[in-house]
Amino acid sequence: MDVSKAAVFIGPQKPFEIQEFPVPEVGPGAVLVKMQMAAVCGSDVHKWHDPKSKGPIIMGHENVGLVAQIGRGIAEDAIGQQLKEGDRIVFRAAPCGRCYDCTVGLSCHVTPHYGMLPADQAPYLTGGFSEYLYLEPHPWVLKIPDEMSTERALMAVIGNHTVLLGIEKIDGIQLSDTVVVQGAGPIGMGALVQTKVMGAKKVIVIGGPSNRLKLAREIGADEVVDMAEYPTPEARVERVKELTRGIGPDVVVECSGANTAVQEGLEMVRKGGKYLVIGQATDYGQQPINPSLITLKAVRMEGAMASTAPFGYIVRSVEAMNSVVPFPVEKLITHKYPLAGINEAIKVHESYEAMIPVIMPNA
């Protein structure tokens, strides 16, 4: 192939454009990926709205693809499995190994992230909303098990690996814990799935709209709190207390990013409980939080962003989705679009009509 079509972000609140780019020659250590599925993430929608965002960018950072061509010097994936053309993979750019964040075990801040790079310079094809994606030499690549569906593989890199990191930071879920998940989006669903398989007795999901809460029920939620029925923070806190015998949950996982969520979570969690904050990745400025609740309740509070050491958690997430998670997580992928449907995919994500819309560039 000489060219690849891609859906290109050209500027805030402007329709994506379908453009063609040259396919680079695959050099030593590089990999050309034929894209199968790329999820539309909330961060993509946020970037589309953000007046500070600059194009052109080929978005798409939650990806599954096929090895189309493989450069000289790559014979195995990250865990030693033989890698060949035609294998399905998930992938990341390899960390630099030299910056401060790499040194202390955090996510590399030097290595670029696929789906977030400018598309006006070579190698151009650096995001999942494209027929082909070019991985620079020596990427981090993980082969997907042959028996695993592409949908389950994609779900492994949507929220679940981040949740695994966060839960480890709070020393895990104890058998028979009661857990509240704030937020019924993709990360919230990841928290629901992971806490259930780790032995939570009861998981309560707070969020909306009703179609998302219905999906939460289908993949294991024991109770849901609909924000349409409980529209105020006070009402939601009171409802959670009712569902937890007035004591509060053992663990609260914040996955919503909502302005009042952290204060609500601190009010809900029981004394001596744990509070994991994942959803507050967008800086909306000052938020009303009473820090005395952390002290007086002796709450253990942690944050998690992407993954501190992302690759190990991705391996675990893929393996868990393949052999441990019993829930029908494929149902969370509610809408599928060809490349030309990118603007509709953004629309249904923004309106909450979709749980997870995906682009299938080669469909």
What's the CATH number where 338 sits?
Answer: 3.90.180.10
pLDDT at 305: 84
Identify whether 191 is part of a domain. Answer: yes
Residue 106, pLDDT > 90, answer no
> Is residue 97 over pLDDT 90?
no
Mean per-residue pLDDT, 150-175: 95
Q: How confident is the model at residue 284 (pLDDT cuts 50, 70, 90)?
A: low
- 20-51 pLDDT tens trace: 999 999 999 999 999 999 999 999 999 999 99
Rounded Cα–Cα distance for residues 194 and 317 (Å): 9
- pLDDT of residue 162 exceeding 90, the answer is yes
> Quick one: angle between helices 342-350 and 42-49, nearest 10?
100
Residue 343 has pLDDT above 70, yes or no: yes
Dihedral, CA of residue 340, residue 343, residue 345 and residue 348, to nearest 10 = -150
**Domain around 28:** 3-144+328-359
Which tokens belong to 360?
């299938």
- Residue 313 within a domain: no
Assess whether 229 and 340 both reside in one domain.
Answer: no
Q: Is the pLDDT reported for residue 295 higher than 70?
A: yes
User: How much is the average pLDDT of 130-153?
Assistant: 97
pLDDT of residue 64: 98
Identify the pLDDT of residue 308: 59
Looking at the fold, whether 340 and 235 belong to one and the same domain comes out as no
The mean pLDDT value for 80-88 works out to: 97
Note whether 206 and 113 are same-domain residues: no
Band of residue 289 on the pLDDT scale cut at 50, 70, 90: very high
Q: Are residues 183 and 75 in the same domain?
A: no
Mean pLDDT of 310-339: 95
- Mean pLDDT across the chain: 95
pLDDT for residue 245 is more than 70: yes
309: pLDDT confidence band, cut at 50, 70 and 90? Answer: low
- pLDDT mean over 318-342: 97
Do both 178 and 281 map to the same domain? yes
Asked if the model's pLDDT at residue 197 lies above 70, the reply is yes
Based on the fold, state whether residues 235 and 211 are members of the same structural domain: yes
Indicate the pLDDT class of residue 306, thresholds 50, 70 and 90: confident
**Whether residue 168 sits in one domain with residue 196:** yes
Q: Average of pLDDT values for 119-141?
A: 96
- Reported pTM: 0.94
Mean pLDDT for 234-260 is: 97
Instruction: Looking at the structure, tell me whether residues 181 and 284 fall in a common domain.
Output: yes
Q: Do 163 and 136 belong together in one domain?
A: no
**Domain match, 19 and 125 both:** yes
How many domains in the chain? 2
- Please say if the pLDDT value at position 189 is more than 90: yes
Whether the predicted pLDDT of 348 surpasses 70 = yes
**Least confident span in 138-147, 280-289, 292-301, 323-332:** 280-289
